[in-house]
Amino acid sequence: MAVNAFKYIENSKTYKYVQKYKEGDKIKWLGKVLRTGKTFKTEREAALYVDKVLINKGKEPVNILVRK
């Protein structure tokens, strides 16, 4: 049995490709898009990560960042 297993809680109501997880007694946010993902302390950091991955792959950002 894994000690620090992630438990899915819900999708973000504000941002796309961002999910809320519980690890032990801590809440973490997972930004997961295009077969890559990373956990963050805040929902906003996860949303920025998703946008940066999309931009690096030549796609339009969907959350916080906007095209000039």
* pLDDT score recorded for residue 2: 57
Residue 1 lies inside a defined structural domain of this protein = no
What is the SS3 assignment for the chain? CCCCCEEEEEECCCCCCEEEEEECCEEEEEEEECCEEEEECCHHHHHHHHHHHHHHCCCCCCCCCCCC
Residue 66 lies inside a defined structural domain of this protein = no
Residue 33 lies inside a defined structural domain of this protein = yes
Residue 48 lies inside a defined structural domain of this protein = yes
Number of domains in the chain: 1
Output the pTM of the full model: 0.89
Q: List pLDDT tens digits, range 10-62.
A: 999 999 999 999 998 999 999 999 999 999 999 999 999 999 999 999 999 99
Residue 63 lies inside a defined structural domain of this protein = no
Cα 40 from Cα 4, distance rounded (Å) = 15
Q: Which structural domain range is residue 24 located in?
A: 6-56
Residue 32 lies inside a defined structural domain of this protein = yes
